[in-house]
Each structure stands twice: as structure tokens, then as C-alpha cells.
A and B are shown apart, each in its own frame.
Chain A
Amino acid sequence: MSAKTIITGIGVATPNGLGVDDFWAATRVGKNAIDRITRFDASSYPSQLAGEIRGFEASDHLPSRLIPQTDRMTRLALVAADCAFEDAGVKPGDIPEFDMGVVTASTSGGFEFGQNELQKLWSQGSQYVSAYQSFAWFYAVNSGQISIRNGMRGPSGVVVSDHAGGLDAIAQARRQIRKGSKLIFSGGFDASICPWGWVAQIAGGRLSTSDQPERAYLPFDAAAGGYVPGEGGALLILEDRQSALERDAENVYGEVAGYGSTFDPKPGSGREPGLRRAIEVALADAGVEAGQVDVVFADAAGTPQLDREEADAITAVFGPAGVPVTAPKTMIGRLYSGAGPVDVVSAVLAIREGLIPPTTNVVLSPDYDIDLVTGQPRTASVRTALVLARGYGGFNSAVVIRAVD
């Protein structure tokens, strides 16, 4: 019998909220946080909207030793890690250091830090590049910094699979708990709203070029024309259920009950995309029938073809309009590796409150046979939630989150 993996702490930082309470207060009512970019002058770029985290001063939260050596995404992740510990009512030293690990996901690494150092390299010379460039840009840096700051020396690592990465990291954390770790930090953060990060995202070819915050990111809408990027993410404290019971964990948000991941076939092969199979594998892993799922948090890519693929997969598994579907990421944009963990946070809060947050701004296209929760939040008894995420290049991941009695 495998150990059960439960979520006992949350640290979240998104464009519409820092911390669980702020985030949920905004998300449950559909508060928009997409707006014009303020972090740099984006007026010459074809895409000028983003979900930015405003008013975050890292030096208010972190010691000065960490500031020169960290990218923005790492600062957000470190602060979120502190919040998650507090939320879980556990301190780093409470658990033996080799029983705690960190598995995070990353899509871009520390782009803004890297940009600054590369600018110094070509404008001033190599001797002007920070010694911290050796790791501050690196995909694994969030896992490393969280591990060092909190003395967590158990199984750790990083997963890089674009937008699917945050769910893949949670799955990897669950594997480590099944192998005997007591507590694993998991989740993802990305923050690449800087010129270099921005052109890299534009080059992906899927960004919205709309300049209207309320009309720019419209998954499953007839007017869908790409997505808006956002920054931030979430960190979850995952614990072995038995171990959490032994320490009288105060906050039990839910169980990571199932996981499935697949890879899309070669483009042009004519074969079915992998998402349906990822969903089926996750449901089977959780021992859940399609009819028991109360809500699906969609990947919501926001382009006609990807929306079509996702709607088809959901309809194939659940039947026409067979399950409520929502995409609260329409408020904040796509957070890359942070997106899946943030949707998991929304899922456990939906379970706790009995309320499905809305997909904002979208008018569901009649082309899709799904029950999309648009406009207003919907009250519902939520016991089991499915979270989907797809990454650029063919990654499909699905996680089942279940209420814990």
C-alpha cells in the first residue's frame, strides 16, 4: 500500500494575490489582473499585456545576503516557501533535514538576472558579470535556494516541461514521498517579464497581440487569439499522510490522488493528441470514475487549435457538458511552470469552500461542448478536482486532487 500524499501548506504569489487569503479573495470573484506591462517599456513589442505582480518588494521579506544573488522568480519562490511553512504550522527544523526535499518546476530560469549579466558582458566586459550568474539563472535555482535557506537535504530536483512542469513536479514530489520522504516542497515559479524573456515568449508564436486587457486572453471563446503571459506561481507542502497525522498538521487541504502524463504525437502524424490519455491515466491512478469528478481546471491555451484539442479530450472522457470546467488563469495569464500549482491551489480552495471560481471575460463558443463556468463563480459540492496543463513541445499532464475527510 502506497503512502498517501496530502497538501498541508500553501505559499502562493500571483498577479491577483500574495498569500492564500489574498489570492482566493480575488480569484473567487474573478478579479482581473491583466494589464499593460510596467516592468519595462513594451511599446515597441507586438504583445504589450501581462499579468504582473505589483508591489512586491523582496527586501521587505528576505535578508540582504539573498538579494544580489537571486532573480525575481527565486525571490518570489523563497517568500512563498516561508509562507507555506507558516501556513502548514511547521518549522524547517521540526523535521529531520534528510526527510525533507524540494522539487520545483521551471520554464525559463532566471531570465531577468541573466539578461542583466549578459548586458554587462557585451557592454562592459566579462569582469563585470556577477559571480552569482553561475547559478542565479539556472532552472534548478529555486529548488537549491529553498533547500539551502530551510535546511532541506532530502530528495530534490527540478522538472522542466514548460506549462506542464508544475504538475510534473508535484508528481515527482509524490513519488519521493512514496519512497519514504516525510515532507516535500513542490510547485513552480516563473517571472520573465523582461525584454529578453518577452521576446523569447513572443517567439513561441502563441501570444495574444490584443491591447485590451479584457479581450486579450479568451480560451474557448470564438475570439480566442493567443494567451497573455503572467508571472508568479505557488509552492505546496506535500506530506506523507501518516507523518502529517503524527505531527497534528492543522491544515489538510486535500490529497494528490492521481497523476498522468503523456507526450503528443509528432505534428502532422494525424494521431490523436495525448491529453485524453493523460486524463484517463490520472483518473485510473486515483481510482476515480469520470462521473466522480466535480470540476476540471483547464489548461486553457487560448488558441483555436489547442482549445479544440482540450475541449475534445474533456468531452471524450466526461461526455458533452459532462463536468464543470473552469480556467481562472484568465484573470492572471499563463504562469508557465507556476500555472499548474496555482490551479491546484484553486482546486483545494474550491473543495474547501464549495465554490468554483469563474473563467473571466470569456463567452463560450458554440463550437465546444463543454460546461464552462463563465462570468460568475458557481457554488458546487467539490470533492474531486482534475487539473490539466499542457506544455509547449507536446507535454500533457493531469493531476487529480481529492478531499480528505
Chain B
Amino acid sequence: MSKQEFTIEDLKRILLEGAGADEGVDLDGDILDADFEELGYESLALLETGGRIEREYGISLDDEIFTENRTPRTLVVAINTYLGELASAA
């Protein structure tokens, strides 16, 4: 059973659990349109984050999910799109 909605709060929590936060980066600040790289998350941190999202939401993400979605805002939209497709297929 997968959850229905993925929020920015979910993303922040998963980022913190899987990869922590860089010094000088406030995840509670205005990060929605910041590039993940600017926030200090390199490819491996994003791979770990993607794996955690997949496990928690019972979904399988494309390898390109983070190359196509460089900011928290677009990533949250993309994941919700997956979740929506999953729900309507069910």
C-alpha cells in the first residue's frame, strides 16, 4: 500500500535521514527552487535519497529522476505524478 502524497516536508525529512544537511544550508529556509547541488547534495546523496523515497512509498523511480528534476519543487511534483499514476492504475 503506497502513500498518496509526497510533500516538501517528506523530502526534507528523507534528505536529513539519508544524507544530513550541509553546514550553512537551512533546509527550513526557502529551498524549493534551489538546485540540489547548491544545497550540498551530490549524486551519491541523491541516489541514497531516491532509494529511501522508493522504499518508503513503494515505488520505482527512473534513473533520470534527479537529472531531470534539479530542485526540490520539481522533484516533489514528479514524485507526486508517479504516485498519482500508481493510484489511478490501481
Residues of chain A with a CB closer than 8 A to B48's CB: 68, 130-132
Q: How many residues of B contact A (CB 8 A)?
A: 16
As a 0/1 sequence over residues 112 to 143 of chain A, the CB contacts with chain B under 8 angstroms (1 = contact) are: 00000000000000011011101000000000
Residues of chain A with a CB closer than 8 A to B22's CB: 63, 65
Q: Are A63 and B18 in contact (CB under 8 A)?
A: no
Known A-B contacts A68-B17, A69-B19; the reply to A127 vs B51 at CB < 8 A is: yes
Q: Are B40 and A65 in contact (CB under 8 A)?
A: yes
Known A-B contacts A131-B44, A132-B44, A134-B44; the reply to A65 vs B51 at CB < 8 A is: no
Q: Are A63 and B44 in contact (CB under 8 A)?
A: no
Among B16, B22, B23, B48, max chain A CB count under 10 A is at B48
Q: Does A25 contact B (CB under 8 A)?
A: no
Q: Does B55 contact A (CB under 8 A)?
A: yes
Q: Are B47 and A131 in contact (CB under 8 A)?
A: yes
Give CA–CA (A208, B25) in the complex, Å: 48
CB distance from B48 to the nearest CB of A (A): 4
Residues of chain A with a CB closer than 8 A to B44's CB: 69, 131-132, 134
As a 0/1 sequence over residues 46 to 80 of chain A, the CB contacts with chain B under 8 angstroms (1 = contact) are: 00000000000000000111111100000000000
As a 0/1 sequence over residues 49 to 69 of chain B, the CB contacts with chain A under 8 angstroms (1 = contact) are: 001001100000000000000
Q: Are A64 and B47 in contact (CB under 8 A)?
A: no
Q: Are B55 and A66 in contact (CB under 8 A)?
A: no
Q: Are B51 and A68 in contact (CB under 8 A)?
A: no
Q: Does B20 contact A (CB under 8 A)?
A: yes
Which residues of B does A touch, CB under 8 Å? 16-23, 40, 44-45, 47-48, 51, 54-55
Ordered by A's residue number, 12 sampled pairs between the chains whose C-beta atoms are within 8 Å are: A63-B22, A65-B20, A65-B23, A65-B40, A67-B20, A68-B48, A69-B44, A127-B54, A131-B47, A131-B48, A132-B44, A134-B44
Which residues of A does B touch, CB under 8 Å? 63-69, 127-128, 130-132, 134
Given contacts A65-B19, A131-B45, 16 further A-B contacts (CB under 8 A): A63-B20, A64-B16, A64-B20, A65-B21, A65-B22, A66-B20, A68-B17, A68-B19, A68-B48, A69-B19, A127-B51, A127-B55, A128-B51, A128-B55, A130-B18, A131-B48
